[in-house]
Structure 1
Amino acid sequence: MTSEPFPRVAVDPGDSDDELRRKASTVRPTPRQVAWQRQELVAFVHFGINTFTGLECGSGTDDLSLFDPVELDCGQWARSLADAGFRSVILTAKHHDGFCLWPSRYTAHSVAATPWRAGRGDVVRELAEAARAVGLGLGVYLSPADLHQTHAADGCYGNGSPAVETVIPTLVPGDDRAARVESGELPSFTYVVDDYNRYYLNQLYELLTEHGPVGEVWLDGADPTATKQHYDHDTWFSMVRALAPDATCAVGGPDVRWVGNESGYARYSEWSVVPMRDEPSEFGHTTAVAEEEHDLAGPAAMRRAGHFAWYPAEVDVSIRPGWFHHASQDTAVKSLPRLMDLYRHSVGRNAVLLLNVPPDRRGRFADPDLARLTEFGRVLREAYGVDLAADAHTGEDVPDSVLVELPQPRTFNVVGLSEDIRHGQLVESFAVDVWLSGAWERVATGTTVGHKRLVSLPRPLTSHRLRVRVLASRGAVRPDVSLMLDPTVPAPVVHDSFAAARDSRGISSDDAPGIADLGGTGVSLSAQALAAAGIVPGGPVAHGGLEFRWPDTAPGEPDNVRADGQTITMSGSGSRIGFLLLGTADRSFGPGLATYTDGSRQEIPLLALDTLGEGDYPAGAHTIVSMPYHNRPDGRADRPARVGWCAAPLDPARTLESITLPRYGEGTNPEEPGVHVFAVTLG
């Protein structure tokens, strides 16, 4: 008997792998999740007191007299985003510093206490009106963490208050909503909560009832407060459901998950059907393995499930190195090829791209960002707005295949695949064949499809016939096929060995830091710090059962490879592959790919390592040594550099042909994250 489809499906401890796959195939998205996924592009707008202090995270005691965006133009934001193809925009209504971009009744730490418009302005309202005028949806970011409520004398964050029965909205003296609440025009809710949860619910109520309609409520999981405070998530979500039933609750919410990185890249295998802990519940949203894991929903994770849920990925990344605008980064706006690469690896990997564009101190998008958005929108329309196979005939005579017959030869370098996610996510692997020189030639393979999969080909091909074969699936499925020509797809760079791919030196003496430079970032590793940890250049490093040889540091000899999408020939067999690596800035995350001689591919957690910050490492990723600083020619010493290792299992019955490094960062700015691989080994 076949189970009825549900957004959440329970798992029994004795379920076989086949039964787990069958149950996963019955999971379906809610209508709000389908509508959210179809947006594909959502804009993030980080704006607030940090814009004026130059910080990425304020203290909560910031001088509010600095906030004065005299040329605020939310219409400019909305028009430029809509023209670039974004479907909605999410505003940081309250970041971790607790500063509110609307005049909240529940705190003085808001725009009402600033000189901007004599304290009578409301950024959230102005953006809501501007978004509606151009057809953009509106989302609100309301940080659960609150440094102002942590530090203020009367602050309620983590104050140890008891949970008591509370009516939301909690009316204040002279509240202008009193009559509407009493008449029932405005709904009210009764919850048992402590002081901070009461505060948070009241602010959420203001945003949802006075600035709507709101299509997405975004919760950030970061918490710089170092103060213990319980978040009553289920109560928050229940009120969102009541006030904005079509709104998705994202990042910690029950509808949408964080992809696990801030690099802009989804996984090679990005499932929307995700193994979850415990039994199904209305707001249950804890994944069976950490969200940062490179294998979030594969067979091993499925065996740890208490239930399966439809829990799609949102990929957040900034158009600049920082989330807030800093004039010093005006020359570091991501290039058009980089943005298109992010699009292909987020939207094109079954996720929604959440691209942050931060306004400057005037309250406008800066010229470099505006120019890049214009380019981005133009190329998206030109490359992906026209399906080259729109007038093709689709054959129906080949089981588990889609045969596309074009009326005339077309040139394309991207193949788009799509499942109707209203019926679940079913494709586990596929192959793409193109009719070339009178025969079928396999030109690409892949794993998951979901809402959209964009497969970039090694080179543009011209043909009138194309075939997509579903190699494995959880049920009968025939994905839709489209063809595009994207001028920004980079030509593949292939090296015949790891040594041949080396491109920069990275180790230097403390008394001569300028002799080494990692990828043009001005950063090098301290030979003295390595020696103190027992690492001798040119010597062996044993870790996790694998042995590496640390590169020699002879002057002029390159020592490492900066990950930038290269394919490196590496033949051999083994049960594991390991990497010695270093990240130059911020979180470094992104899967590499191992390709076997039979054409199959496997994701490897090459960069799944938070190299410069504390955090939960994915399985197989660990720190070997934490450097006390970066060597820089200017003597700058800022954040520690973590030299680490990553290891991943391989299929010992297959022969490895090559590894492909992720394209991560552009290497043109020291603040842009990058990763450098020092050694690779099989074991």
Structure 2
Amino acid sequence: MTSEHSEPSEPSDPSLWVAVGPDDSDDELRRKASMVRPAPRQVAWQRQELVAFVHFGINTFTGLECGTGLDDLSLFDPAELDCRQWVRVLAEAGFRSVILTAKHHDGFVLWPSRYTGHSVAATPWRAGRGDVVRELADAAREFGLGLGVYLSPADLHQSNAPDGCYGNGSPAVASVIPTLVPGDDRADRVASGELPSFSCAVDDYNRYYLNQLYELLTEYGPVNEVWLDGADPTATKQNYDQDAWFGMVRALAPDATCAVGGPDVRWVGNESGYARYSEWSVVPLRGEPSAFGQTTAVAEEEHDLAGPGPMRRADYLKWYPAEVDVSIRPGWFHHASQDAAVKSLPRLMDLYRHSVGRNAVLLLNVPPDRRGLLPGPDVARLAEFGRVLREVYGHDLAAGARPHEHPPGNAVVVELPESRTFNVVGLSEDIARGQQVEAFAVDVRLEGTWTRVATGTTVGHRRLVSLPRPVTSDGVRVRVLDARAARPLVVSLYLDPTVPAPVVHGSFAEARDNTGISSDDAPRLADLDGTGMSLSAQALAAAGVVPGGRVAHGGLEFRWPDVAPGEPDNVRADGQTIRIGGSGSRIGFLLAGTADRSFGPGLATYTDGTQQEIPLLALDTLGEGDYPAAAQTVVSTPYHNRPAGRVDEPARVGWCAAPLDPARTLESITLPRYGEGASPEEPGVHIFAVAVG
């Protein structure tokens, strides 16, 4: 894409990406990774920490999560729409930006675009003269929030409408953006050069997409994030000219980050709200270094995205930080049936500690209802969330203390003027100078003796280390056990009342509970308690899995719980710790997911106190799709709805495994915290058996 104006380009500083070679040793790869730096826009983006997502559109009125593209636009009429209410609530909760689904996959657009009739202009809302993007942009500016736009690359309307241009096979032809339409009100400003124009060779859909992107970037004030979604529910193949898209963003909004499908910010790899235990912003990529396109050395969903293994497969290293997207509700769009399923305050705080507190940005979705307002339950929860964030993480208990290095570069000691009680230790690096820490230990002074209370791996912009229980001490020491280069750490201390007290079970059998199950009112969700829809021992017996029996998979042998009918036969993952001893190179789980494919990071704790993340990935019990090799179907059983006496379709119990350090002895596993189980639509994981080998 070319412009009559000079386009901003990426700085020539080679540290934005560093080339690696096939003969580079692990030490050389670490040295090169230590040289990688972020662009200023990436630093500014990371420092936001909290960004709000707003899913709103025709789906809000049809009750769908993904529309058809041919939805009845007469349904869209948010008579009380008030974007000032949205932004006021978000600002008071501590969010720094808000991203609106200006166009979701259905193709309906929330502004009166010149290039489609499938927009708010074709709805009864405000007599077809409304503009949601305009009202949100004005409100964001009033309250000091940044504005982001979600413009779905996939477009079901352009795919399904008779005159649609998505995947229509049109050739790439010379085009000018903006492509002026008859009576275009921008003609004089484009002719005078007040508005820039761009020349490119693109097909019909890419021209359509570029023109809509141009409208969003030139008519609503500054845009600080452009968010693309990689999902594509269309049945049509369409090439995306992303170089042209991102080139336009760089020219029109040089400070905006291009996220998820873009070159500045990557998807964390799940929609559960968790960053990795070791979340690197320096990521190994394959191919030729490019300003706009990159391919991670391993799939973005992989547990180890940027460790030694992926680095050996890379062609270059680049700063590519993670954004963690999750919804405050089970769905992305508002559904009144989910008003009782808004995530609790402890759950939101847990997500905060595992996203912002793991070197990522939390993108929390809060969907408006059909009135055009954020619903009462969500507003109340966000008010609680903001209050606790301010009360806890706005007050550093180490403020005023004089930290010093001892010895230089290896440890930071914080001497407190008096003993203080805390249960979260915050660490941070100056990411403008790269990300360096690979391993650390936290010690507190108890009765004059340094005692280790936690260990960890990466730090980055921010690491929040939760302690099992509050401690009272007048001194904290953070030892850097391994680093790519010496960099100072900033240490902070907090007392967070929402950190859950540890629940420890002496064995897997002791932990079995069958909690968090669904009911017959949600017939497409898995019920694991043996009373309704079932993956219980009785249903599993139909596939040859009987109580006390054994199942072999992936080189591991699992013993099925030997329980009587009706007794608990599985453990719902909810943050509990289970003592499981032994040594081996792998730990494996037989498990089932509910509602959706479910991901969560657990922890393996060794007897020497070190910890290692163990990712739990469960298949969607009833769904189909492609899954990483770490998640495979082991048992397929009839899906029973016992009260109705029918079998709807097969259901699946899956397997996932994670590596262990064979030189260490396992002491326990801590399962991911999936939530309170208040709603059957809340994703969860139920574990039937564990094996170490």
What TM-score results when the alignment is normalised by the length of structure 1? 0.96
| Long gaps (5+) in structure 1 | none
What residue is the counterpart of 1:325 in the other structure? 334
What SS does the aligned partner of 2:297 have?
coil
Residue 306 of structure 2 corresponds to which residue in structure 1?
297
* Structure 1 residue 190 displacement after superposition: 0.7
CA change 1:616–1:297 in 2 (3 A) is farther
SS in 1 for 2:552: strand
Match of 1:413 in 2: 423
For residues 205-604 of structure 1, the aligned pairs below 5 Å read 205-399=214-408, 400-504=410-514, 518=528, 523-525=533-535, 530-531=540-541, 533-604=543-614
Structure 2 residue 93 is matched with structure 1 residue 84: yes
Deviation at residue 541 of structure 1 after TM alignment: 1.0
- For residues 389 and 405 of structure 1, the distance between their equivalents in structure 2, rounded to whole angstroms, comes to 8
Change over 3 Å in CA distance of 1:557–1:533 after alignment to 2: closer
Which has the higher mean CA deviation after the structures are superposed, 115-124 or 596-605?
596-605
State the AA in 1 paired with 2:415: E
Distance in 1 (alpha carbons) for counterparts of 2:135 and 2:337: 28
Letter of the structure 1 residue corresponding to residue 670 of structure 2? T
Task: Pick one of 658, 677, 682 that aligns with 1:672.
Answer: 682
Larger deviation, residues 418-427 vs 613-622: 613-622
- Counterpart in 1 of 2:4? none
Contact 2:96 2:146 in 1 (8 A): yes
Residues 9-58 of structure 1: per-residue CA shift (max 9 Å, x gap): 11101111111111111110000000000000000000000101111111
Q: Distance in 1 between matches of 2:587 and 2:71?
A: 48
Cα offsets for 1:139-171 (capped at 9, x unmatched): 000000100001111000111111111111111
**Partner of residue 18, structure 2:** 9
Shift of 1:616: 4.0
Q: Which residue of the other structure, out of 127, 135, 142, is the alignment partner of 2:144?
A: 135
For 2:558 and 2:569, the matched residues in 1 are separated by 14
Q: Report the CA distance between 1:77 and its aligned residue.
A: 0.3
Q: Match of 2:574, SS?
A: coil
Per-residue CA deviations over 1:552-587 (Å, capped at 9, x if unaligned) read: 351242111100111111111111111100001112
Q: What are the Cα deviations for residues 565-612 of structure 1, in whole angstroms up to 9, with x where unaligned?
A: 111111111111111000011120112111111111111222365555
Moved more, 242-251 or 614-623: 614-623
The 1:337–1:640 alpha-carbon spacing in structure 2 relative to 1, beyond 3 Å, is farther
Closer, same or farther: CA 507–204 of 1 in aligned 2, 3 Å? closer
Find the residue that maps to 2:174 and give its secondary structure: strand
**CA contact 2:539–2:640 (8 Å) conserved in 1:** no
Are 1:646 and 2:656 counterparts?
A: yes
Separation (CA, whole Å) in 2 of partners of 1:342 and 1:241? 32
Report the AA paired with residue 554 of structure 1.
Answer: A
TM-score by length of 2: 0.94
Q: CA RMSD in A?
A: 2.2
Number of aligned residues: 676
Change (3 A) 1:315 1:151: same
Distance 1:240 1:626 in 2: 47
Residue from 655, 666, 671 that aligns with 1:656? 666
Q: Does the 8 Å contact 2:287/2:294 carry over to 1? A: no
Residue by residue over 1:286-326, the C-alpha shift from the partner in whole angstroms, topping out at 9 and shown as x without a partner, is: 11111111111111111111111111000001011111111
2:573 and 2:535 mapped to 1: Cα distance?
17
Alignment pair present for 1:166 and 2:175:
yes
One-letter identity of the residue aligned with 1:431: A
Deviation per CA, 1:100-120, whole angstroms, max 9, x where unpaired? 000011100000000000000
SS at match of 1:359: coil
Q: Could you say what secondary structure the match of 2:275 adopts?
A: coil
Letter in 1 for 2:325: D
Q: Does the CA contact (< 8 Å) of 2:271 and 2:326 recur in 1?
A: yes
Given residue 622 of structure 1, which amino acid in structure 2 is its aligned partner? Q
Q: Percent identity over the alignment? A: 83
**What's the offset of the Cα at 1:211?**
1.3
For residues 128 and 638 of structure 1, the distance between their equivalents in structure 2, rounded to whole angstroms, comes to 47
Alpha-carbon separation, structure 2, partners of 1:305 and 1:666: 40
Deviation at 1:285, TM superposition (A): 2.1
Shift in CA distance, 417/528, structure 1 to aligned 2, threshold 3 Å: same
* Aligned-pair CA distance for 1:660: 0.8
Give the direction of change, closer, same or farther, for the CA distance of 1:16–1:609 in structure 2 (3 Å limit).
farther
Give how far 1:518 is off: 3.3
Partner of 1:59: 68
Measured after TM superposition, the shift of residue 521 of structure 1 is 11
User: What letter matches 2:299 in structure 1?
Assistant: A
Where 1:622 maps in the other structure, the secondary structure is strand
Q: Partner residue of 1:182?
A: 191
**2:600 match: secondary structure:** coil
Q: 2: distance between equivalents of 1:584 and 1:82?
A: 34
State the secondary structure of the residue aligned to 1:604: strand
CA distance in 2 between counterparts of 1:45 and 1:99 reads 15
SS at match of 1:103: coil
Q: Which one-letter code corresponds to 1:470 in the other structure?
A: V
Tell me how far apart the structure 2 counterparts of residues 408 and 520 of structure 1 sit (CA, whole Å).
55
Residues 516 and 676, structure 2, Cα contact 8 Å, conserved in 1? no
Out of 34, 53, 74, the position equivalent to 1:44 is 53
- Whether contact under 8 Å (1:161, 1:195) holds in the other structure is yes
Contact 1:394 1:405 in 2 (8 A): yes
- Is the contact between residue 589 and residue 610 of structure 1 (CA under 8 Å) also seen in structure 2? no
- 1:309–1:671 distance in 2 versus 1, CA, 3 Å: same
